[in-house]
């Protein structure tokens, strides 16, 4: 959750700066590369992990506006991958 929120916050700040026109340096590509790569390196994860976390938080925030209880329950639900790891990593 923290990772997705962090990226979305920093990404939003970059968009605001660009709209004002006071970007300190020219942008390369779509403008998200530096932020996602920097956060991924700092957190020790891949940039795809950062992007997935950010996408999940965007969906969570949209659901939260409609039904906060559902959004809260969704955060508490482990992913299928996490559940499978726990279930199959145990040795008898």
Please tell me the total count of domains within the chain: 1
Neighbouring C-alpha atoms within 13 Å toward the C-beta of 38 = 9
Global confidence as pTM: 0.60
Helices marked H in 1-92: 2-20, 33-43, 47-66, 68-76, 80-89
What digits encode the pLDDT tens for the residues 8-21? 888 866 556 555 55
What digits encode the pLDDT tens for the residues 46-56? 999 999 989 88
- Domain of residue 41, residue span: 2-22+30-89
């Amino acid at each position: 959750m923290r990772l997705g929120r962090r990226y979305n916050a920093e990404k939003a700040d970059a968009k605001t700066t660009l709209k004002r026109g006071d970007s300190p340096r020219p942008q390369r590509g779509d403008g998200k590369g530096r932020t996602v790569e920097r956060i991924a390196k700092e957190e020790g994860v891949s940039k795809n992990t950062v992007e997935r976390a950010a996408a999940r938080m965007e969906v969570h925030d949209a659901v939260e506006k409609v039904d906060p209880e559902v959004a809260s329950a969704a955060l508490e639900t482990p992913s299928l991958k996490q559940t499978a790891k726990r279930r199959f990593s145990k040795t008898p």
